[in-house]
Structure 1
């Protein structure tokens, strides 16, 4: 089995392990307004050519790979700042707004981990640019964020190997924003206790 994960899968798992399993185990997908707007945004971003502005070079749609973590993917934008040494700053574009949860930051951190392995550098920070608010959020790649990113990679890969789809999250607001809501049917599954009943029958 190919254990390689796409970097975008990290955000799926962090948002909801069930969503991750539906996409990457059961191979189902559906679009809603949010995914359509996200696709349009990335088309705009991906179309640009590399350019130089002063001491900063901008490279778009940079391909990424990590042998150690088993990751592949691409980043929206890489800023190479030579004004004071040599700094690489990964930048991710998102359609919405900044979140208290780390879903987007985990994906960005995974990009940084790939870059560090590929280019043999240390990367201290990156950024997420949010289309809805037109604001750029700086992200520090501290020890805690790195550890959580690597833990999610391991958990996501184990879920694929097990081939099981977890139950829906209890955070109903998050479910309503998911493009897979109609396919997932989280409310129906929450009300269906038959699986627990059958499991209890076989308990000693």
Structure 2
């Protein structure tokens, strides 16, 4: 169990999965740079996180900007939206009659990604809700602004285990203040930190290595 002062931000798991170096530059070295994608994402989340926009539609209760945490994983954050559906068997909500099942919904500006970054984030939210509410949450949704559709995410044992292992790795990096070396790929072009990271320069051979090779060659000659 982690102490509250050691909690990491839950939403950062998507940055870590996208690129461990990006996460370390932003949240260990505290370097950050906005681009169009990050600004559009903020606008979408500001709308989803408006806590004043609570809704009740029949047997459905919609809660926005719900604070969540997990002492087991050492993380805290907010759910964009949590939907509570009235059912015959579920959890009890204070001040509400009956029982409810819990469905987290994460909002993203783009479209479904090839990697698991978005899936891990909503799965992490579900694990926090399970720990807080003492229930089992089998699935959730990701709403993509570009496609304007929800994608259903099944929270399998494999996904849940990956979330826990990823947070454990994040804690190790943070405690060691470790920034991984760059691994260039196509996704570097879309990264808001590419000018700070300088992937092309980092990929080049070091000056000290170059000097060592020159000296070694001269000694051989």
Q: Same fold (TM over 0.5)?
A: yes
1:76 is matched with: 80
Report if the CA contact (8 A) 1:13-1:20 is conserved: yes
**For 1:32-71, what aligned pairs fall within 5 Å after superposition?**
32-47=35-50, 48-71=52-75
**C-alpha deviation, 1:73, in angstroms:** 0.3
Find out whether 1:165 has 2:182 as its counterpart.
Answer: no
**C-alpha deviation, 1:196, in angstroms:** 6.9
| Secondary structure, counterpart of 1:35 in structure 2 | helix
**C-alpha deviation, 1:84, in angstroms:** 4.8
Which aligned runs of 4 or more in structure 1 are off by greater than 6 angstroms? Answer: 195-198
Distance 1:192 1:3, change over 3 A: farther
**C-alpha deviation, 1:101, in angstroms:** 1.2
Number of paired residues? Answer: 198
| Larger RCO: 1 or 2 (CA < 8 Å, sep 6+) | 1
**C-alpha deviation, 1:194, in angstroms:** 4.7
Computed over aligned residues only, the root mean square deviation of the Cα atoms, in angstroms, reads 1.9
Question: Is there any run of 5+ residues in structure 1 with no aligned partner, and where?
Answer: 199-204
Distance 1:150 1:192 in 2: 36
Distance 1:195 1:54 in 2: 69
Distance 1:194 1:119, change over 3 A: farther
Match of 1:138 among 140, 152, 158: 152
1:202 is matched with: none
**C-alpha deviation, 1:161, in angstroms:** 1.3
Distance 1:195 1:54, change over 3 A: farther
Distance 1:46 1:187, change over 3 A: same
The TM-score, its normalising length taken from structure 2, stands at 0.84
